[in-house]
Every structure is written in C-alpha cells, then in structure tokens.
Amino acid sequence: MSSPADPASQASPLTAVVPRDQGGARLDQFWMGHAEDLGVARSRIQSWIKIGLALINGVPCLRPGRRLAPGDRLELRAASQSSELKPENRELRVLYQDDDLVILNKPADLVVHPAAGLDQGTLVHRLLHHFPELAGKDAGGMDTSRPGIVHRLDKDTTGLLAIALNEPARLRLASAFAAREVEKVYLALVHGRPRAQGVVDAPIGRHPTSKTRMAVTEKGGKPAHSAYTVLWTAPEDRFSLVQVRIASGRTHQIRVHMRHVGHPLLGDPTYCPASFTGWQHEVPGMNALLRRPMLHAWKLGLPHPRTHQPLSFVLPPPKDMLRVILAGSRTTQRVGLTGMPGCGKSLFLAELAALGLPTWSADKAVAELYQPGRDGWELLRRNFGDRFIPDPEGPVDKRALLNSLRETPRLRRELEALIHPLARRHLEDFWQTHRKQRVAAAEVPLLLETGWPSDFDLIVGLACDPDRRRNWLLTDRGWDENLLADVESWQWPEAKKIQACHLVVANPGSRDQLAGRARDLTVVLRWLRRQAARRLLSRITALVAPERDASRDQE
C-alpha cells in the first residue's frame, strides 16, 4: 500500500490488495486498520467511503460494511481540500440551543448531509454558517462530511432534528440513539382507515430489484419496530392521521411499514401504488397539494448529552399537512329543501340553479320513473296490472293513481314502499355525479316524512303565508279544498315540519325577492362550510397538541 504523508492534500489514491488473512473483513474496518498510518480519524475514513471515494476492483462502493474477498483491489481517494464543505447563509429554524445541543425544525425538500453527487445545498452547509464551531478546532475529530449529525430525516420529511455541537456531545447522543433511549414519534397521513392501533415488527432491507427502495425482507433485513395509533380519519375513510412511534431508525422505516400493512403514505411516489390514489382525483386541488410524502417528526425526547436531564420537544405539523387534511376532508355540502304544498319550493330551487348550484327535484325524478319502460312504470305494471296503466305501452294514468291514493291509505303506503327507494337511488346518483361540487341542493317534499335526513348535511324549510299558499293552490293549481286537505294530511303539520329544519327561508311573495333569498342562502352556506373547516382545524390542532399522546394514554 502506498503511504502518503498527508492524504487530505494528495491527488493520487491510496491502493491496496486484500491479503488472504483479511478475507471477509468490512471495507471500513480494512481502511481503519491503517488509520494510524494515514494520520486521519477513523470517522473521516468512513465518511470518504460514504461519499463514493472508495473503489473495489475499480467500482465505487458507498457501503462501509461491504465484505471483502482475498485479492480484491482497493482504492481510497481522500477528499481534497477543494471539496471541503462551504458554509451557506440560509435559513435555519432553531427551536432550542445551548453549548452542546441544537434542536431544529427541518423543512421539506432539504437533504440533511452531503452525499455522492451532492456537495451543496444541504442542512449541514447551513449549520456550518450558523454554527462555525462545527468546523473549528473544538470539533474534536467530528466527521467533516456530516458534522453534528446524530440522526437523519428524509429529504421531504419535516420536523424535529437534533444536532450535536461538539464531538463529546455527538458521541453521547449517538450512544443514546443506539441504546434506544430516544423517543421518536411521527405524524403521518396514510391512505384508508387502519385498525385503531397496531404494531409492525418486520425487518427492513434493500428492495430485491430496486436499489433506491427499501422493503420488508425475510432474509438480510435489519430489525425494525413501529407502533401506530389512528388519531383521526377523513370522511368516506379516504385517509387517516396516525402517530407512529419507532424504536429503530431504518431508512424509510415508516413509509415501508405502513405500506406493508396496506396503508401507504399520501404523496409517496416510491411506496404508494396508483391503486390507492383514485380518490385524490375526485378532490379538487388535492394532487397539487401532495408534493411530498406526508410525514412529520412530531415528538423527540432525549437525554441532554452533558447533564443527562431528559428533554422533550413537540412540533405541530406544517401548513402543507394541514392543507391536505382540510382539502381531503371536503365533501359536497348536500342541502335538502322541503316545505308544505304551494310554499314555492320549485321556484326557490330554480333560483338556486340560476346561481350555479346543481339541483335535483324529487317530483321530477318520480315523473321520470313513471315514464313507459322505466323502473317505476315497470313496478306499477307488475304489482297492479292495467289498473293505472291501461295501455301496455302507454303512460301512467296519474289521475286514477291519485284518486286511488286518496281513497285507500294502505295503497299509498304500499306505493311509497315501492317508489321511494327508486327515488332515493336516483338522489344518490345525483350526489355522486356532483361529488366534486362544493354544494348541491335537492327538493324533497316528503324529506322528513320519508326518513331521508341522513342523506343531507343541511335541511332548509321554505315557509310561506298559509293564506297565500292556499289561495295559490286553489286558483293557480286548480285544487279543491278536499284535495288540499288530503295532500296535507300525508305530511307533517307545517309547524312541526319547519321546526325540524336546520334553516328556514321565508318566501316573501315575489320572484325577485325570492331570488334575493336564494343569494342570501348561498352566503350562509359558504359561511357554514368555513365554520366546518375551522372546527376541523381546531380538532386536529387539539389532537396533536403537546399534552396529547394517544398511544401513551392507552398504555
């Protein structure tokens, strides 16, 4: 082996051939055996290997633990002075600082330390500017490629990160991590609804076919333990907010483990199959928000490297994570419109439609179902023969049908049992068609009587002066007093009906004024949606507040 006087300044590489008696040795241990001859710290040799300066038989090897075979030709290219890290004056979010330790809030899209092909723009470069002692005489043999680093977060993972400011502190913190004396709890947004809590004990190693991925492996993997608890689940079980406590710290551990149990992280292009993401396309703006895997280092507890006193830090999730929660929780605001006969429901629904709201009418849906050949028409033919459809190919005789309903209450209940489920399915299709809309409205005269309130988020009752309503039905619709009494007897009394509604809109009597009431309602609906978003944000904030730790509550 060549033996230069100053390996950090020379241009020619160090070379060696593995002797027979050192077959099976690790790459880093082989070169560390010559550390005294090289005149550099062993940690520095290991850092050279990790940034691609070690070659085996002419091929770069970044794995310090690579086992060597007798006769392997080795090269070690010491980092030159020109490749020394240059401090960068960029933002650093410091949450805690003393002479030995710094706790940072790491943002997304920031690599922690340099690696092969990445010699600028990392967190370490920022650290060197804000904490020049990391590169000073007091660094005490600290790894020059990653000074102060005792644990890592993935490039796109946000949250708490501990940095040692001197070598004694680094060694003590590294020992605490190795002894699992450090508490690490993350927040993640995962697809679907996992069971309330679970433990994943599954070894993690390199993916068998992809060099850039990790995987749960039966052979060759390192032990990995993750315990998760579901904190909250979005509507329709689209996704869930979970806390994950990890004992080990394997590469991509949480991403791999949650994928292993069938609930990959939102925004994770590496471990989330496309089959999980279909719902995202139904939520406006969701795909644009998911620019990274939704993972955040939430809690960090560790002993102080000098005093050994326990320290605990909690960092709420970043804004992009909260935006995903709010956007992904949006559903169509389903508004039901009801009221007594002649109160102006159809006119009010038309005004809402003129304002751009998708609308649906139960009366129109039933009329469609009674068209020849449609489901309602078929049920009438099957159950009543030609009683209401005298022509086998003709329309329903609605006058005969109405008269029978008035004469025979049992028949009315029987017909409702047949037709109402068809109308409800029609309504469900309407909601599904307009699932991307922020709000949609449906007029259902018997909404309360039929037991459909669960199909709506808000029920609006249209109230009208009883005398004006009665006069309109008798004069404009051609009803008589008996028909009016019969139809109203099929519904709840007006006072009970109005009292059961969430909102009441008074019909002022003119079309222009009714249009104004429709505009007012849309303003109220928008305000209610904003209030719902604020309540959700408050709920999530309470769930992840410092005093909250669901898994410990259940231990």
Q: Report the catalytic residues.
A: 154
What count of other Cβ atoms lies within 10 Å of the Cβ of residue 183?
Answer: 17
Contact indicator for 204, 186 with CB cutoff of 8 Å: no
Bridge partners (DSSP) listed for residue 149: 163
* Spatial distance between the Cα atoms of 38 and 51, rounded to a whole number of angstroms: 18
* Spatial distance between the Cα atoms of 449 and 469, rounded to a whole number of angstroms: 20
Cβ-based burial of 107 (10 A; exposed 0-12, middle 13-18, buried ≥19): middle
What are the distances in angstroms from CA 147 to CA 7, 101, 420, 487?
20, 12, 71, 83
Of the candidates 448, 446, 451, 443, the one whose C-alpha atom is nearest the C-alpha of residue 500 is 448
Per-position DSSP letters for 431-484, written without gaps between them: HHHTTTSSEEEEE-TTTTTTT-GGG-SEEEEEE--HHHHHHHHHHTS---HHHH
* Local structure of 486: helix, strand or coil: helix
Using only C-alpha atoms, the chain has a radius of gyration, in whole angstroms, of 35
Per-position DSSP letters for 531-545, written without gaps between them: HHHHHHHHHHHHHTS
Structure tokens at 227: 């315990």
Of the candidates 155, 268, 154, 251, the one whose C-alpha atom is nearest the C-alpha of residue 207 is 251
Structure tokens at 399: 């006058």
Contact indicator for 147, 139 with CB cutoff of 8 Å: yes
Of the candidates 176, 186, 179, 141, the one whose C-alpha atom is nearest the C-alpha of residue 304 is 176
* Spatial distance between the Cα atoms of 221 and 256, rounded to a whole number of angstroms: 12
Of the candidates 293, 270, 328, the one whose C-alpha atom is nearest the C-alpha of residue 188 is 293
- State in Å, rounded, how far the first CA of the chain is from the last one: 58
* Spatial distance between the Cα atoms of 448 and 429, rounded to a whole number of angstroms: 20
- Between β-strands 439-443 and 333-338, what pairing exists: parallel, antiparallel or unpaired? parallel
* Spatial distance between the Cα atoms of 162 and 183, rounded to a whole number of angstroms: 12
Tally the C-alpha atoms within 13 A of residue 184's C-alpha that lie toward its C-beta: 25
- Between β-strands 333-338 and 458-463, what pairing exists: parallel, antiparallel or unpaired? parallel
